[in-house]
Amino acid sequence: MTISMYQASAPRLANMLRNLDAILAKAQAHATAKKIDPAVLLSARLFPDMLPMVKQVQIATDHAKGCVARLAGVEVPKFEDTEQSFEELRARIARIIAFVESFSATQIDGSEERDIALRAGGQDMSFKGLPYLLGYAMPNFYFHLVTAYNILRHNGVEIGKRDYIGTP
């Protein structure tokens, strides 16, 4: 049995983004129930030199849209990072899910050897499609998604592994 580039990317990204949306909904409800200013959770960090929760969500969504766009050989859409509320973050996630789901298997399958070039952290990077997907795009996506989860969990939001993994 084989797995396609599409199966390893778009459906997984969309599923995890839905889980992130549900986690943010719980965080928003937690802030309301505990009378916590939402900005406290949105700006929370695990360590002073780490990015805040809002930025973790923005970067995770950037990796999701970048992944499918690059694998399909289309331009990566640019979104301004202006979100400052749970509602705005959740709207961003919804836009990214719609973008990810706009790609078909025929657009992404066969991209294992596609040349992919990008600039990140001030450095130029180049990959073939499969190493990009498995060694860069997905690890970065999961890193920032789980960091957002961990920030919220650390700050008392009642979420657990089931919320993170969701249903396959």
Q: Tell me the per-residue pLDDT of 7-49, one tens digit each, with 9 for 90 and over.
A: 999 999 999 999 999 999 999 999 999 999 999 999 999 999 9
Q: Tell me the per-residue pLDDT of 70-80, one tens digit each, with 9 for 90 and over.
A: 999 999 999 99
Structural domain contains residue 121: yes
Q: Is 146 exposed, middle or buried (0-12, 13-18, 19+ CB in 10 A)?
A: middle
What CATH code is carried by the domain that includes residue 75? 1.20.120.450
Structural domain contains residue 5: no
- Calculate the dihedral angle through the C-alpha atoms of 1, 8, 136, 152, rounding to the nearest 10 degrees: -130
With residue 5 as reference, give the H or E element that holds it. none
Structural domain contains residue 3: no
pTM: 0.96
**Domain total in the chain:** 1
Range of the domain at 74: 10-165
With residue 116 as reference, give the H or E element that holds it. strand 115-120
